[in-house]
Amino acid sequence: MPQLGFDGMPRRLYPCTPSRLRAWLDCPRRYRMSYLNRPAPLKGPPWAHNSLGASVHNALAGWWRLPLAERDPPAAVRLLERGWIPEGYADGVQSLRHLNRAKDMVERYVSALDPADEPAGVERTVATKTESIAVSGRIDRLDDRRLPAGRELVVVDYKTGRTAPDEQDTRSSLALALYALAAGRVLRRPCVTVELHHLPSGQIARWEHTPESLGRHLRRAEDIAAECADADERFASTDEPDRADVAFPARAGAWCGWCDFRAHCAEGQAAGPARRPWDGLAS
């Protein structure tokens, strides 16, 4: 059923993902290049830390898809070796060093799991709607936990970066809150707990939302989406690059060194030096 807007005209829900909303908040210029400019500007080279993260995520997802009897730590290591993405590393030696590091972390992480504890979803796409947005996203793992009071769905997100996230990161994550809301609505079960599992350190940052805190995140998502929708309209209604630049200002800072579109952004280049593709790896 379409939503009614002004003058009884059907108003389209704004389709979005948490990543899209985050991109707008981080830098409107980067948002434009990622989601609106077509053809999209050429991105910089792949990042080794992203390759490592994707390799680990794929191995863990593949592990849960194995038959129960095959889910042991060596199987996770084999999956990682087979699916290793070697892009972005300085050379084969560096790639191999980080493969070995990743093997250790995956083996350690999987050793602490109960393979029989079947998740409710692995890399599961969930979606939900409000009066103004249709938001969707993919959850790394959706646990179906046994608690004294019954069963509860828990959103699990894997992290492989250098710094372990803390409780504040978990509590303030728009993406995790939207995943929890969407998972709860799709599966019609309570889902208020979100966790960040940092594989390099083994630390887990956890937060239990309330319906109110989830509602606040949802309203924030709607507000950000409304800004995106306005900006998208402005973009569609002009083909003058200068005006598009005004509607999508560059938010330059130290982070520009990591931006995929730095080569197309004078402000970002002036903000600091480019990072090498392997600079995001742990030393």
Task: State which residue, 30 or 124, has the beta carbon closest to ligand SF4.
Answer: 30
Single out the residue of 63, 84, 261, 278 in contact with ligand SF4 (rule: CB under 6 A).
261
Find, among 40, 22, 41, the residue nearest to 227 by Cα. 22
Q: ∠ at Cα 49 (47, 54), nearest 5°?
A: 95
27 binds ligand SF4 (CB under 6 A): yes
Q: Which of residues 156-195 bind ligand SF4 (CB under 6 A)?
A: none
- Work out whether the CA dihedral 97, 75, 197, 61 comes out positive or negative: positive
Task: State which residue, 58 or 269, has the beta carbon closest to ligand SF4.
Answer: 269
Q: How far apart are CB 236 and ligand SF4 at their closest, in Å?
A: 20
Task: State which residue, 108 or 275, has the beta carbon closest to ligand SF4.
Answer: 275
- Strands (E) across the chain are located at 3-4, 10-11, 14-16, 121-129, 133-147, 150-159, 193-198, 203-208
277 binds ligand SF4 (CB under 6 A): no
250 binds ligand SF4 (CB under 6 A): yes
20 binds ligand SF4 (CB under 6 A): no
The residue type found at 63 is: W
Q: Which residues contact 96 (CB under 8 A, 6 or more apart)?
A: none
Q: Bridge partners of 146?
A: 151
In whole angstroms, what is the distance from residue 217 CA to residue 258 CA? Answer: 27
Single out the residue of 78, 108, 234, 251 in contact with ligand SF4 (rule: CB under 6 A).
251
Single out the residue of 102, 183, 256, 281 in contact with ligand SF4 (rule: CB under 6 A).
256
Q: Which residues bind ligand SF4 (CB under 6 A)?
A: 27, 29-30, 250-252, 256, 259, 261-262, 265, 267-268
